[in-house]
Amino acid sequence: MKRVGIVARPDRAEAAGVVAGLVEWLTRRGRVPVVEKETARLVPALATAVVARSELPAHVDLIVVLGGDGTLLSMARIVGDPSVPILGVNLGGLGFLTASTVEELFPALDAVFAGEIVLDDRMMLAARVMRGGERLTQYVALNDVVITKSAMSRIINLSVSVEGQYATAYRADGLVIATPTGSTAYSLSAGGPILFPTMEAVVITPICSHTLTDRPVVLPGSQRIEVTLLTDQDVMLTIDGQEGLALREHDRVEVWQAVPRARLVRFPQKHFFSVLRAKLKWGER
């Protein structure tokens, strides 16, 4: 891995110093740092290659994301090609995906260059919105596809089909369709189960369902899901909590397993359950 891309969350106070130190560290070791355009503005004096975020995956062999899970999610949707792995480094916040700390950054990179790391392939979801038989837009999500009412709206009605067969209807504040990676995000807050992140599965979790017997449902990753909005009020579709579209009555949201996959770098010693223990304080009294 000769060329290393660098993306940072610009509003983190420590980001500029970490970026400058990383560029210097990589250069001393004969690696070529390639800095994302917005990130480069944090350290104007950097003498290194600078490219737009959308172009970064085509110019590098590895991407280092400095920030939180949101920064990594936005980058994962751009990468597309699983041959470009992502190393997430947490600069604050909970950080399930950016599980490495700043102190672990350089040891992690040493391990990457020595081939002593694990690459976790994570499934992603594709989602598109159909309105009146026409496709409005299409997205890719690493965490989740969420349909939710606005703050002032009443409970919304949703009809759900799986593989073309009617499954159920929900009267709820909304619905989360999550990957195993996203099972520890919004879906978990809504009462969904935690799925092992490399599974091929999808979890459907209602948000504050009006019917107490409604429970999260786990499906094979290959299943195609269709959700039709049956309510005429303010409802939003959001992708990884970062992109979105206002929905109308009778809009249909179609969700299926995407072809692109996210490839995340992990220390062999940092197992999924060690992350859960650290982030969720499992086993502590």
* Whole-number Å distance between alpha carbons of 239 and 246: 12
Q: What's at 222, amino acid-wise? A: S
Q: Are 113 and 223 in contact (CB under 8 A)?
A: no
251 annotated active-site: no
* Whole-number Å distance between alpha carbons of 271 and 68: 19
Q: Which long-range contacts (CB under 8 A, 24 or more apart) does 25-28 make?
A: 25/106, 25/109, 26/109
> What's CA 124's distance to the chain center, in Å?
8
Catalytic residue among 11, 61, 69, 240: 69
Q: Are 72 and 262 in contact (CB under 8 A)?
A: no
**Active-site amino acid positions:** 69
